[in-house]
Amino acid sequence: MQLPRDFMIRMQDMLQEAYPAFLRSYEQNKYQALRVNTLKGTTDEFLNKVPFWGLTRVPWETRGFYYVQEDEKNLSETKTVRKSKAVDSEPLQDKLQPGKHPLHDAGVYYIQEPSAMAPAVYLEAKPGERILDLCAAPGGKTTQIAADMCQEGILVCNEIHPTRAKILSENVERMGIRNALVTNETPQRLSEVFGAYFDRILVDAPCSGEGMFRKNQEACKEWSLENVQRCAERQDEILDCADRMLRPGGRLVYSTCTFAPAENEGSIARFLERHPQYQVVQVPLSDKMAPGKPQWAYYGDIKQQNHALYQEDLMHTIRLFPHQINGEGHFIAVLQKQGDVPDAYQGFLANGVQKGICAKEAKEFIQFHQEMLAIDFFAGRENSLLRLGEQLYLMPEKMPSIDRLKVLRTGLHLGTLKKNRFEPSHALALTLKKDEAGQYMELETIECARAYLQGLTLNHSGEKGWYLMTYQGYSIGWGKLAGQIMKNHYPKGLRK
């Protein structure tokens, strides 16, 4: 790999005797990992059903596992040999790559770079809280936070770029998340709407991407010292917006996937200068994680290179280096805002709380709910339905108003209200467990599951109506039985 010359000069100066080991890490393969989605089931259930891929635990995330990536050439040869020998193809399920396995389509796990799992762990999200993932696409950390929230509270996940915001929304749907509000706004605009509102905020900041050079060579080609400086300036603006949205006593986690001091210790030092009401929290480090380097805060700035302000704070930041851990480069800082709030504290919402509709305005869904679902979506939640045209949503409790906001998802998309009938959404299927549906059909083999994902009809005997389609007990979509034909309602845009 051809690393940028200026990058190598700086890293050698920073790492000194550790630099040769750092360079050697670029000769190694990147690490692959997945994280079990505990909104779908427990980690133990997953491990019992998926005894393949050579899974080993990621040290800093109990739901994270390294996996062995099957070589495409070897996989092709294995399929050919087994076909020629007329061997039953079911054992091939352990040869399917995680990204192509039906359980991935079912949202049972999320493929995520192992180091990228660490920031959300340190956010320590709790059920019932108000949480913001400010720079959220493609959704790895958002879906990780959502699992910690257990469908309770409000999770606002934002992405400024429309195309990436759409991907974020799709991943929120695939993972079966009910309590997320997906927005496509600038941090500045969000800070005008939410004043000291959130209990916790994650800022996984846009950065120069140095930590991803081994994983993404395009990041290597786009790198420059000038871009590092631009990123640092943009991070200052984003962090200032985050401060305005965090309540007193709240937690702010800042992370990047770069080694650049200006974007890491430098960003935190500058933030603490502007906002002295914060301090960096000392958190336990996983094995091989390294503390931040206060001397790097003003790296390259001759006037302040001996600056010792915030030295103790910066020692509590976290560095992940690829020559020390099994993962890519990352930086993390956990910050606490001074103060506390009363139990009834609400914070400021420029547009107030979103008003819902009464049940009689969605009688088609109420009938579907009574006949086809074995779960009470309305327990203790009056006026929690939101209607946008023909589309019906189940809002998170006390969801902020979406007035004048660019919004892609407002909680759980339930489905479409049509004349005298209701058509359930794919999102509704993916958030259900099989015992929460009135009827379900188990896809008993991986071939059957793949046929369903391709949009094929299936044979089945039973009462007519909607069926939750499941594979290995996990929901994967809808089917509708007429006669003995199960019509396929897997979304056409997702079919393989």
- Positions marked catalytic: 257
**H/E element, 81:** helix 72-84
Count helices and strands (H / E) in the chain. 16, 25
Angle at CA 427, nearest 5°, toward 425 and 431? 125
Helix (H, G, I), strand (E, B) or coil at 167: helix
Cβ atoms of residues 320 and 331 within 8 Å: yes
CA-to-CA dists, residue 393 to 349, 410, 415, angstroms = 21, 7, 7
Largest CA distance in the chain: 80
Residue with tokens 């990352």: 330
Residues 52, 57, 63, 66: is their CA dihedral positive or negative? negative
Q: Other CB atoms closer than 10 Å to residue 161's CB: what's the count?
A: 13
Helix (H, G, I), strand (E, B) or coil at 129: coil
Structure tokens at 451: 């046929």
Residue with tokens 């505990």: 38
DSSP code at position 44: H
Cβ atoms of residues 418 and 195 within 8 Å: no
Cβ atoms of residues 348 and 195 within 8 Å: yes
Tally the C-alpha atoms within 13 A of residue 58's C-alpha that lie toward its C-beta: 27
Residue with tokens 């056409």: 492
Return d(Cα 66, Cα 55) in angstroms, integer: 6
Return d(Cα 289, Cα 268) in angstroms, integer: 18
Closest by Cα among 12, 3, 30, 8 to 221: 3
Return d(Cα 14, Cα 403) in angstroms, integer: 48
Closest by Cα among 112, 119, 132, 142 to 39: 142
Q: Other CB atoms closer than 10 Å to residue 366's CB: what's the count?
A: 15
φ/ψ bin of 465: left (φ > 0), alpha (ψ from -120 to 50), beta (otherwise)? left
Closest by Cα among 237, 245, 240, 312 to 279: 312
